Structure 1
């Protein structure tokens, strides 16, 4: 039996997935901070103080972690933790996994211009600005495997 075509994901589902992914990135940042504090404690227990990261450094690392996380997830499985929990997958217009370079550009655009997601609320095909520019789409897909993604 042939798989039915996957429907494009709506703005609400995509926004919930994005919030979950933000939580994942913030958790990774928190664990990184605690790891740095532990290393500092191990090497200088008498003079220990929690690190006070500079705002610019923190923002840069957070943006970098976000971009690497999104790129890796989209290029390998088409899913982030948020997408997996909401039954979504990012695919090319032909329904295949997004190649690494395109996944990286999409990640940069999604992180730096997150407001582009809002276009999915008014687009008849539920595409964000990033989807339009990079010829990708976000579809509902509850299957576990990532080969032969969308029919």
Structure 2
């Protein structure tokens, strides 16, 4: 007989919780973009105060930087703790089907798919296992997990 208490299996997260977490993460990315823009404006002001004007970012450059920041943010969070700020707020974690953290290549690919094909999340509303299209393709799960440490994951 062991003294180890078995953790119950984590329930898959539903569409409302996942969408709420995604909206929080969108806010985080927009905040990062805003701080970056203000930082660039400050550098411009310090460099040439007499001729200062706020930068007018090009649409293509802004979109490219926003997509890149989103992918880096999601990849970093999923590969290190399995949680983004939104996931932390909603008690979620992204794991493999075996309950482990994603490694960098899978986290990166999942981030790219989630950013470029965000509508894939909607599949979680009709899938009986609450999986998005990204989860199905990459064999990942988004589960409710209120534990603080990723080291407590099933390994």
When normalised by structure 2's length, the TM-score is 0.96
- The answer to whether the 8 Å contact 1:8/1:139 transfers is yes
Gapped regions of structure 1 (runs ≥ 5): none
3-state DSSP of counterpart to 1:147 = helix
Shift of 1:69: 0.2
3-state DSSP of counterpart to 2:95 = strand
- The answer to whether the 8 Å contact 1:18/1:82 transfers is yes
Rounded Cα–Cα distance in structure 1 between residues aligned with 2:57 and 2:104: 31
- Give the paired residue count: 151
Q: CA RMSD in A?
A: 0.8
Match in the other structure for 2:78: 74
Rounded Cα–Cα distance in structure 2 between residues aligned with 1:66 and 1:106: 12
Question: Which of 50, 54, 57 is matched with 1:46 structurally?
Answer: 50
**Structure 1: which 4+ aligned runs deviate by more than 4 Å?**
none
Match in the other structure for 2:63: 59
- The answer to whether the 8 Å contact 1:119/1:129 transfers is yes
Rounded Cα–Cα distance in structure 2 between residues aligned with 1:35 and 1:148: 38
- The answer to whether the 8 Å contact 1:5/1:150 transfers is no
The yes-or-no answer on 1:29 pairing with 2:33 is yes
3-state DSSP of counterpart to 1:22 = helix
Match in the other structure for 1:130: 134
Rounded Cα–Cα distance in structure 1 between residues aligned with 2:150 and 2:129: 23
When normalised by structure 1's length, the TM-score is 0.98
3-state DSSP of counterpart to 1:101 = helix
